């Protein structure tokens, strides 16, 4: 076979195997190999490394799209000095993701604006970066999705969907009271993940008030039981971060006004 037809054959093999990054890089890699006098082993290694890195990049992009994080926050962005009730070393420990290994849950409890969503998303981001399948949903979206699934006869599929991710974030539990069907959906999601994979849950309601979210206090108790069995709980009782910066601004403004009148 002539060199030209061997080359065509090689391109066609790469296309058949769908190694498109390698196919695209082939002429350059061959040229480099000639210039640098690379042997066949080094040449093949270079070519396949290009394909491997393209595959890795596609996988990352798909994990990222799937996770549907609503904000780009990272744990490093969290200002611990503004929220002394959050244990920084505990957050950093969670950031290593060893909690995923034994399916530990994370509960973030506190009033609006204290950074619960930010911490939950920061953990989700770390999990995506480590290559784990991660998914973010609000409790309201989860419940609405399960409701549609029930109507359309896709309940089992939807439950499997929520069982799948290595880390599931359920944000804003407790903002809306959950009727029995909604409570059942959340309960089943928590139950099927119990001891298998971690869930990060944020809520504005202290554990003692969980009965209020659900029609049925037994469901609330059973759910809490599973969530707390192996868990890290943050009770964040500081003031809202946004209010804090508002206050700082208005204080600065007031000082400015006072200084202004003194002059």
Stretch that binds Mg ion, among 2-10, 53-61, 117-125, 151-159 (CB under 5 A): 117-125
Question: CB of 170 within 8 A of CB of 200?
Answer: yes
Q: Rounded distance, CA 110 to CA 41, Å?
A: 58
Rounded Cα distance, 245 and 248, in Å: 5
Which range in 21-29, 79-87, 129-137, 152-160 contacts ligand ADP by CB under 6 A? 79-87
CA 155 to each of CA 96, 171, 199, 219: distance values in angstroms, whole numbers, following the listed order: 34, 21, 20, 19
The answer to whether the beta carbons of residues 182 and 147 sit under 8 Å apart is yes
In the chain, how many H helices and how many E strands? 11, 5
Question: Which of 161, 175, 194, 241 contacts ligand ADP by CB under 6 A?
Answer: 241
Of residues 115 and 165, the one with the C-beta less far from ligand ADP: 115
| Contact positions with ligand ADP (CB under 6 A) in 156-215 | 202
117 belongs to the binding site for Mg ion (CB under 5 A): yes
Q: Which helix (H) or strand (E) holds 15?
A: helix 3-16
Q: Which stretch binds ligand ADP (CB under 6 A): 17-25, 109-117, 227-235, 248-256?
A: 109-117
Q: Among residues 112, 131, 217, 256, which is the contact residue for ligand ADP, using CB under 6 A? A: 112
The nearer residue to ligand ADP, 229 or 249, going by C-beta atoms, is: 249
Minimum CB distance to ligand ADP, residue 232 (Å): 17
Q: 125 is written with which tokens? A: 């981001």
Residue closer to ligand ADP, measured from CB, 158 or 202: 202
Least distance (Å) from ligand ADP to the CB of residue 209? Answer: 16
CB burial of 51-64 (b: ≥16 within 10 Å; e: otherwise) equals beebeeeeeeeebe
Q: Give the binding-site size for Mg ion (rule: CB under 5 A).
A: 1
Chain residues that interact with Mg ion, rule: CB under 5 A: 117
Chain residues that interact with ligand ADP, rule: CB under 6 A: 78-79, 82-83, 110, 112-118, 202, 241-242
């Amino acid at each position: 076979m002539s060199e030209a037809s061997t080359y065509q054959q090689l391109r066609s093999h790469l296309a058949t195997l769908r190694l498109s990054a390698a196919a695209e890089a082939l002429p350059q890699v061959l040229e480099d190999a000639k210039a640098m006098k690379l042997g066949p082993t080094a040449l093949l290694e270079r070519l396949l490394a290009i394909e491997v890195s393209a595959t890795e990049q596609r996988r990352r992009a798909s994990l990222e799209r799937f996770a549907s994080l609503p904000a780009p926050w990272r744990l490093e962005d969290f200002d611990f000095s503004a929220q002394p009730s959050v244990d920084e070393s505990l957050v950093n420990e969670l950031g290593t993701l060893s909690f995923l290994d034994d399916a530990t849950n994370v509960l973030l409890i506190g009033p609006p604006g204290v950074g619960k969503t930010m911490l939950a998303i920061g953990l989700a981001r770390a999990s995506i970066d480590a290559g784990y399948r991660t998914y973010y949903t609000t409790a309201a979206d989860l419940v609405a999705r399960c409701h549609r699934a029930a109507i359309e006869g896709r309940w089992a599929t939807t439950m499997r969907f929520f069982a799948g991710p290595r880390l599931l974030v359920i944000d804003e539990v407790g903002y809306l009271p959950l009727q029995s069907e909604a409570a059942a959906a959340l309960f089943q999601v928590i139950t099927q993940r119990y001891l298998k994979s971690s869930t990060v849950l944020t809520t504005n309601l202290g554990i003692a008030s969980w009965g209020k979210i659900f029609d049925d206090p037994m469901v609330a108790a059973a759910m809490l039981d599973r969530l707390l069995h192996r868990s890290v709980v943050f009770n964040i009782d500081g003031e809202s971060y946004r209010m804090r910066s508002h206050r700082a601004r208005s204080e600065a403004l007031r000082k400015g006004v006072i200084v202004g009148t003194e002059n």
